[in-house]
């Protein structure tokens, strides 16, 4: 009898859980911006904030550098400090459809396994960027400088929140070692 009651409760809760999941992802908008110039995006970016994930957990003073290759792909060099040690990750990026979807890139740090890299917001001067992926679990705020003004940051956070990202989950990256070096 207990099994029957447990099964019935689970059966009743499943539709509610599915509905909650669909509501959460219905408001999620990861579409990249339409106007994007890859050459202007190249160079060094400082990571201002990110969602927590295992491959960057505990990293501080994080930067990402993008360099155009002869084959049209982009070399990616992510670096930062973790537990007093300097760490780097080398990868590559590509634009699957540069004419129709220029701000949608794919990035790989291991063999031929690529992940989505969508530029969700970019100021006119290519100084501040909001980057996400196909999943609401990944979000980055990048800047050409290690610090961003409160007014610019408010605009970026408003954009992220409006796209369905939970901005309360952002981790603010310590860039204190990079201040004064840009």
DSSP structural state of residue 173: P
Q: List residues bridging with 93 in a β-sheet.
A: 74, 107
What pLDDT shows up at residue 8? 37
Question: Residue 65 above 90 pLDDT?
Answer: yes
What structural domains does the chain harbor? 38-172 (2.40.128.20)
CA distances from 49 to 76, 101, 137 (A): 18, 25, 13
For 69-85, the pLDDT digits (tens) are 999 999 999 999 999 99
What pLDDT shows up at residue 168? 97
What pLDDT shows up at residue 31? 96
d(CA 108, CA 114): 4
What pLDDT shows up at residue 55? 87
With H, G, I as helix, E, B as strand and everything else as coil, classify residue 36.
coil
What pLDDT shows up at residue 13? 38
Q: List residues bridging with 78 in a β-sheet.
A: 64, 89
Question: Residue 133 above 90 pLDDT?
Answer: yes
pLDDT average, residue stretch 124-141: 96
CA distances from 85 to 77, 78, 80, 153, 171 (A): 16, 14, 8, 29, 20
d(CA 171, CA 173): 6
Q: What is the pTM of this model?
A: 0.83
């Amino acid at each position: 009898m207990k099994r029957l009651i447990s099964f019935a409760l689970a059966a009743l809760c499943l539709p509610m859980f599915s509905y909650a999941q669909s509501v959460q992802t219905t408001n999620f908008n990861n579409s990249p911006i339409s106007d994007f110039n890859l050459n202007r995006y190249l160079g060094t970016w400082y990571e201002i904030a990110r969602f927590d994930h295992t491959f960057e957990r505990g990293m501080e003073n994080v930067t990402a550098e993008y360099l155009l290759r002869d084959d049209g792909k982009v070399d990616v060099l992510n670096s930062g400090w973790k537990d007093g040690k300097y760490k780097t990750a080398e990868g590559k990026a590509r634009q699957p459809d540069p004419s129709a979807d220029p701000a949608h890139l794919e990035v790989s740090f291991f063999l031929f396994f690529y992940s989505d890299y969508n530029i969700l917001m970019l100021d006119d001067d290519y100084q501040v960027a909001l980057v996400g992926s196909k999943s609401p679990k990944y979000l980055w705020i990048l800047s050409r400088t290690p610090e961003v003004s409160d007014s610019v940051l408010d605009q970026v956070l408003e954009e992220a929140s409006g796209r369905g990202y939970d901005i309360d989950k952002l981790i603010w990256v310590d860039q204190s070692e990079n201040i004064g070096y840009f």
